[in-house]
Amino acid sequence: MSNEYLAYENDLSTLRYRTFMTIFSASFSLSYLLVDVLKLPTFSYYPATHKMAWGWLPSSVDDGPAMYWYGWILSSLLMALVVSYLCSMLPINILKRIPLSIAWILPVALIPCLIYTLKFYWR
């Protein structure tokens, strides 16, 4: 293999790696907000009884309050991994066009939405 080809391969793998990281940051925050709003945690956890159940379940008299935070994190992690992997496999000319700034601009832009989802508390 020529040095030129190795440099190209190296560049491509760095580009894919960079895209994966960039999209992961953006998609993780976006999917976290979506699973929160759409009530899509992977599981619900009842800290009073240490019981776990798949999906979203309401708080109950027997098991106490339900927690969804752990489930949201897992759901968004899985979604972000899939999206980032798929994006990192895009053709090189598209990869080069993905702006790095999306990694921090999207999470910052989603903060007002997060604040809005907590409107119950701002009274």
Partner 1 sequence: MNWLFDIVSVNTFWTILLIIHGLVSVALLGALSHQAMAVMRPAQLAQKDKTFFDAFRSVKATKYAKAICVLWVMSFILGGWIYSEYRIYVRIPIEQQEFYKTLGAFELKEHLAVFGLGMLPIYHFAWKFSQQENYAKLRKYTTLFLAVVCWYAFLTGHIVNNVRGYGA
Site string for partner 1, 87-106 (x = CB under 8 A): -------------xx-xx--
Cα dihedral across residues 24, 85, 90, 20: positive or negative: positive
If binding is defined by CB under 8 A, does position 67 make contact with partner 1?
A: yes
Report the length, in residues, of the chain: 123
Question: Taking CB under 8 A as the rule, which mask of x and - marks residues 12-51 in contact with partner 1?
Answer: -----xx--xx-xx--xx--x---x--------x-xx---
Q: Shortest approach of partner 1 to residue 3 CB, angstroms? A: 21
Return all residues near 65 (Cβ < 8 A) that are at least 6 apart.
Answer: 46, 47, 48, 59
